[in-house]
Amino acid sequence: MTVRIERIELPGIGFRDDIVTAEGRHVGVITHRDGHRDVVLYERDDPDTAIESVALNSHEADALAGLLGQTALVGHIADLGAGTMGLFTERLLLPHDSRFLDQPLGATEARTKTGVSIVAICRGDGVIASPTPQETLRKEDVLIAVGTRRGLDSLEKILAKNSL
């Protein structure tokens, strides 16, 4: 989707760029001659009136742009994963009667059998990031797994098995 940006000259001051969001809100950025910016928000029902204007010097403007740019980039990558690469992240709850209860993580042979990586285990309030194959699985563990749709589905089945 393209966003329309409108530029309005402000003689003697600089110029103002406006965007209208999908929600219908107007956001403006005033670029002054000396390089400082104002980020301007408009009233919902009256797009003529600026309700808030935040002055940013060039460093602050850079920082804010970086922030917005970064999150836009992360969103972009997540988008790519879902759409074209077929890679998914899922939270799998270890079933109460799973045969892997109190067994090391390696016993699931998740990576060899399904190609899925367990990137973290959520236990209680804590997180075990990048768990080793020796990590013992406990009751109510949540496994954060990354893999293809098929791999994740078969891992779920493996974990659900309750008999040897």
Residues in contact with other proteins by CB under 8 A are 8-13, 16, 28, 30, 33-34, 38, 40, 42, 46-50, 53
Report the length, in residues, of the chain: 164
Grouping H, G, I as helix, E, B as strand and the rest as coil, residue 22 is coil
Amino acid at 137: L
The CB-of-17 to other proteins minimum distance in angstroms stands at 11
Q: State which residue, 47 or 115, has the beta carbon closest to other proteins.
A: 47
The CB-of-33 to other proteins minimum distance in angstroms stands at 6
The CB-of-30 to other proteins minimum distance in angstroms stands at 5
* CA-to-CA dists, residue 23 to 20, 26, 44, 54, angstroms: 8, 9, 10, 21
Tokens of 115: 């190609």
Q: State which residue, 42 or 100, has the beta carbon closest to other proteins.
A: 42
